[in-house]
Chains A and B, each alone.
Chain A
Amino acid sequence: MTPTTGYLNDLEQDALTELVNIGVSRAAASLRKMIGHQVLLSVPALEIVSRQVAATLIREREGGDLVAVRQDFEGAFSGRALLIFPEANSLALVRAVTGDELDEAGVLEMEDEALSETGNVVLYGCLATMANMLQRPLEMSLPAVVRGDGQVLFELSDIDPSSTTGVVLFLYINFSVSGRDIRGYIAMLMDLPSIEALKVLIAEFLERIVGADGS
């Protein structure tokens, strides 16, 4: 875990990482059912960085074009969740979720729909688990498929232009699929007001489950 001094203390970071870990683990189990191959996950990384740096973190690892399924969420805290792959992996994922039954033209035709559905299962599964554990409902937008580099995926200009300069809570997990040439990232971005709201919810969550003797 990277220190995010000033925003979240150690136990808050620990709790948030564990919440996300439980969320993505469940989501991975759902994805496993869709594609019939084991889904391998890294431990979540959590950083508080500028949006610019978040984009760079992905771009440094992925030189080529990316494709992502994007879902915005709103509620007690708001932000954006992304399932990101190198563009070159996209069709392999579509083949895997459609059970290798489609020909090349069929795969191309189904691409965006299959990506949206996969993204929805993974991102919704992850966020729903987090929302349940924090006991706050989250509204999710419909999944949208976006293509481009890290910069394009993370820009929130359609939401609030001033937010592009602020810091974000950036969470990401690497995933890969056993026996298939598929790998990518699950990422989540939240801006400053949401980090503050999340701190309160995490404190309540800790109070509920850890109670007074949690030191």
Chain B
Amino acid sequence: MTTLLIVDDSKLARIVLGKAVAALQPEWTRVEAGNADEALAQIADGGVDLAILDFNMPGRNGLDLAEALRAAHPAMPIALATANVQDEIIARARDADVSFIAKPVTEDSVRGFLSGAALKLRSSRA
């Protein structure tokens, strides 16, 4: 079983992303968090295989969260969902091996990340 954590302060954004993921990976379980602290608590509880993080959130932003997650989970597929494609953000995401998902989120914009992550998770379990 694969469990995806969706982190976004906007409920709407979580619904939109959840729907796109459900259409592409109907088997996956989706769990949600509204900010970085909630996300870290969810991940500490265990069972999360991959994560999609909003960038601009109150408190710690998605990139800071991604870096913290990456340090603790070197192999976890992580993506940052944002319309904010500034060079500095792209560079930091790349350094932390974090993918990009363009907002507004559509099935097309998440497809690449989800297929790559599915392959990676399958091969790590094999």
Contact = CB atoms under 8 A, between A and B. Distances in A.
Interface of A: 10-11, 14-15, 17-18, 21-23, 25-26, 28-29, 32, 38-39, 41, 43, 129, 133, 178, 206, 209-211, 214
A38 B55 CA distance: 14
Interface stretch (B24-32, B45-53, B71-79, B85-93): B85-93
A133 B83 CA distance: 13
A10 to B, nearest CB: 8
Nearest to A18: B10
Contact of B9 (A43, A178, A210, A211): A43
Nearest to A178: B88
Contacts of A129: 83
Contacts of A32: 86-88
A15 to B, nearest CB: 5
Contacts of A15: 10, 12
B58 A43 contact: yes
B84 interface: yes
16 contacts: A10-B11, A14-B11, A18-B12, A18-B13, A21-B10, A23-B83, A25-B56, A25-B83, A25-B84, A28-B84, A38-B86, A41-B56, A43-B57, A209-B12, A210-B16, A211-B19
Interface residues of B, number: 22
B23 to A, nearest CB: 12
Contacts of B12: 11, 14-15, 18, 206, 209-210
A26 to B, nearest CB: 5
A41 B88 CA distance: 13
Given A14-B12, A209-B16, A210-B15, A39 B86 contact: yes
B83 A14 contact: no
A214 B15 contact: yes
B36 to A, nearest CB: 13
Contacts of B84: 25-26, 28-29, 41
A31 B78 CA distance: 27
Given A129-B83, A214-B15, A22 B104 contact: yes
Most B CB atoms within 10 A — which of A17, A43, A129? A43
B86 A29 contact: yes
Given A11-B11, A38-B86, A210-B15, 14 more contacts: A14-B11, A18-B13, A21-B10, A22-B83, A25-B83, A25-B103, A28-B86, A29-B85, A43-B57, A129-B83, A178-B88, A209-B12, A210-B16, A211-B19
